[in-house]
Structure 1
Amino acid sequence: MSSLFAFPGQGAQQVGMLHQLPPDAAASLNEASDVLGEDVLVLDSEEALQSTRAVQLCLLVAGVSCARLLLERSPEPDYVAGLSIGAYAAAVIAGSLDFSDALRLVALRGELMQRAYPQGFGMTAILGLDQATVERLLAAAEGPVYLANINAENQLVIAGSETAMAAVAERARGLGAGVAKRLAMSVPSHCELMNEPARELAAAFAGVELRRPAIRYLSGTTARPVFDPERLRDDLAFNMCRVIDWHGTLRTAYERGVRLHIELPPGAVLSGLARRVFDQGTVIAFQGARLDTLDALLREEVSRTR
């Protein structure tokens, strides 16, 4: 039996997510503020979170700070994984990427994505149709629109222009989709529209040191472990333009013996997805749970493996 720390992606953000962190997270908040040269708490407001840069930085800081708090008292997880921007927090906790480098890269990532598509694009969730049906709708669509996330067998996300997404959503409802909902995303992530920003980010990555993960890192795009630092560099730099297979990532974790899934803040979106895969085991979110409860669960998993 083993454990997984899962870090959410954009769309999971909540106004106040940094202000609501435990008091002991102050050290990580101060570190982030020092690196960025600005108070990260200022990024955590309804107005500021209209910015892709602010959202991604807040998600990184929330995930890393809470994972650090847990690791101060608890055994390490066997695996880490992150959905989209969550991969950066996963790489930090795996010991592969310095928090300071992650902060600078994520700030640049958000700026590049926002600059490339300041308006008229985004992402839409479609629930209730399988992947093959959605892909047929995309193939017949007029305008740029692509498959972006495979979150579950019948929970998919598309990315593209507002008009193209709206047309696909309407056709999806006609085929029985229970939900076809525009997400709180102002950029078309995880498709070829992000190829150029990804190349620019990769250039910035060239001067950053990455190390072999000390905790096994699962890629949210390939749904496979990544051990080599250069492969990890590629995985992080280009995940903005690659389809996210979160369902496959969860299945890989389960098949490798993971029976404890802990979702780091903010929210519990990933926990809902994990419960569809983890027929046996425990799925719990940090937000709303007691630290001693999470500690006990991690220690129990360690004892089972001995």
Structure 2
Amino acid sequence: MKKTAFIFPGQGSQYIGMGKDFYDTYACSKEMIDLAGKVSGIDMYHLLFEENQELDITKYTQIAMLADELAVLKAVEEKGFSSTVNAGLSLGEYAALVASGVMTPEDAFKIVVKRGAYMQEAVPTGGAMTAVMGLDNETIEKICQETEGIVSVANYNCPGQTVITGEEGAVSAAADALKAAGAKRCVPLKVSGPFHSDMLKEAGLKLEKELEQVEIHDIQTPYITNVTADYVTNKNEIRGLLKDQISSSVRWQQTIERMIDDGVEVFIEIGPKKSLCGFMKKINKEVSAYHVDKIEDLDVLVKELSGQE
């Protein structure tokens, strides 16, 4: 059996209707989405499946994404698939924690509801994020450090795509300097705040208090944290890492590279769209990457990895 990783996307991949076919077809998927509604008090059927304006608001996006990812995960597991290691990009790390046995789905939903609300509340006016294309990380880091104001790296997504975050003026100034240094493009992102910057530290502190009320279970399947791009071996470190994750850089490229170095050959992206598979093509084209967003994607997975016609 080839070493397999389950990977889970973060905010930005959501869309109306995600998970509907799983909800209608798999009892285990419906159970996850219904549980998210019960825990959060939010009408998940409306939020996920009916036209609305809330899905793109952080405090709703996060619970919706996690509900969809766990709904799809349960269907994938029901088909007999399992992972050697798990990881998720930003919010996706909570689905990875559930997949690794660290949190129950119910507790993960409880925390993510709070996480989304705290991040929404902490968003100051004047925050921004910009994707930087075609420039090495060292140059980006150096220019961020030299720019006046708060600006830093939010996401190391893949070679040639890094996201910066912070105060609007500082992010704009850094983008100008990055273009002058050779960046192919700097694209402002349509987000509601400067996520993964020091400006969100207060949200992390609030979340840490909520995490104290949640039981952290032994790690059943290894998982890698965004904060260090390394395995977590001590469950007692998890609360602190989740606090830091809100304001720290997401080391996604480094996370994938670590798993490949450890012999992972198959990556299965679980959740809406296939942004992580897109990053994978730029990180390493030699490994196999699949995504499961719809039931037909799961059918492909079964056919190709289970040898079924």
TM norm. shorter chain > 0.5: yes
Query: Runs (4+) of structure 1 moved beyond 6 Å?
Result: none
Instruction: Report whether the alignment pairs 1:129 with 2:135.
Output: yes
Secondary structure, aligned partner of 2:39:
helix
Q: Partners of 1:118 and 1:51 in 2: how far apart?
A: 15
Secondary structure, aligned partner of 2:223:
strand
For residues 39 and 115 of structure 1, do their structure 2 counterparts lie closer, same or farther at Cα, with a shift above 3 Å needed? Answer: same
Q: Partners of 1:230 and 1:140 in 2: how far apart?
A: 36
1:151-230 equivalences in 2 (<5 Å): 151-230=157-236
Q: Partners of 1:178 and 1:19 in 2: how far apart?
A: 38
Q: Partners of 2:301 and 2:22 in 1: how far apart?
A: 16
Secondary structure, aligned partner of 1:275:
helix
Question: 2:4 maps to what in 1?
Answer: 3
Structure 1 range deviating more: 51-60 or 226-235: 226-235
Question: 2:16 maps to what in 1?
Answer: 15
Contact 2:8-2:270 within 8 A present in 1 as well: yes
What letter corresponds to residue 194 of structure 1 in structure 2?
L
For residues 177 and 14 of structure 1, do their structure 2 counterparts lie closer, same or farther at Cα, with a shift above 3 Å needed? Answer: farther
Contact 1:77-1:298 within 8 A present in 2 as well: no
Tell me the percent identity: 30
Q: Partners of 2:103 and 2:183 in 1: how far apart?
A: 40
Q: Partners of 1:20 and 1:183 in 2: how far apart?
A: 30
Secondary structure, aligned partner of 1:43:
helix
**2:110 is matched with which residue: 104, 108, 113?**
104
Contact 1:32-1:40 within 8 A present in 2 as well: yes
**1:291 is matched with which residue: 277, 287, 298?**
298
For residues 132 and 82 of structure 1, do their structure 2 counterparts lie closer, same or farther at Cα, with a shift above 3 Å needed? Answer: same
Question: 2:63 maps to what in 1?
Answer: 57
What letter corresponds to residue 231 of structure 1 in structure 2?
E
Q: Partners of 2:180 and 2:45 in 1: how far apart?
A: 43
For residues 118 and 131 of structure 1, do their structure 2 counterparts lie closer, same or farther at Cα, with a shift above 3 Å needed? Answer: same
Deviation at 1:26, TM superposition (A): 1.9
Q: Partners of 2:193 and 2:19 in 1: how far apart?
A: 23
For residues 79 and 297 of structure 1, do their structure 2 counterparts lie closer, same or farther at Cα, with a shift above 3 Å needed? Answer: farther
What letter corresponds to residue 10 of structure 1 in structure 2?
Q
Structure 1 range deviating more: 153-162 or 260-269: 153-162
Instruction: Report whether the alignment pairs 1:240 with 2:246.
Output: yes
Structure 1 range deviating more: 34-43 or 211-220: 34-43
Aligned residues: 300
Contact 1:79-1:216 within 8 A present in 2 as well: yes
Instruction: Report whether the alignment pairs 1:30 with 2:37.
Output: no
Q: Partners of 1:15 and 1:131 in 2: how far apart?
A: 34
For residues 70 and 50 of structure 1, do their structure 2 counterparts lie closer, same or farther at Cα, with a shift above 3 Å needed? Answer: closer
Q: Which runs of 5+ in 1 are unaligned?
A: 301-306
Deviation at 1:21, TM superposition (A): 4.4
Normalising by structure 1, report the TM-score.
0.91
For residues 141 and 199 of structure 1, do their structure 2 counterparts lie closer, same or farther at Cα, with a shift above 3 Å needed? Answer: same
For residues 130 and 20 of structure 1, do their structure 2 counterparts lie closer, same or farther at Cα, with a shift above 3 Å needed? Answer: farther
Show CA shifts across 1:111-159 (max 9, x none).
Answer: 1111111532132111111112112221232322111111123211111
Q: Partners of 1:201 and 1:42 in 2: how far apart?
A: 27
Contact 1:96-1:212 within 8 A present in 2 as well: yes
What letter corresponds to residue 154 of structure 1 in structure 2?
G
Deviation at 1:99, TM superposition (A): 0.9
Normalising by structure 2, report the TM-score.
0.90
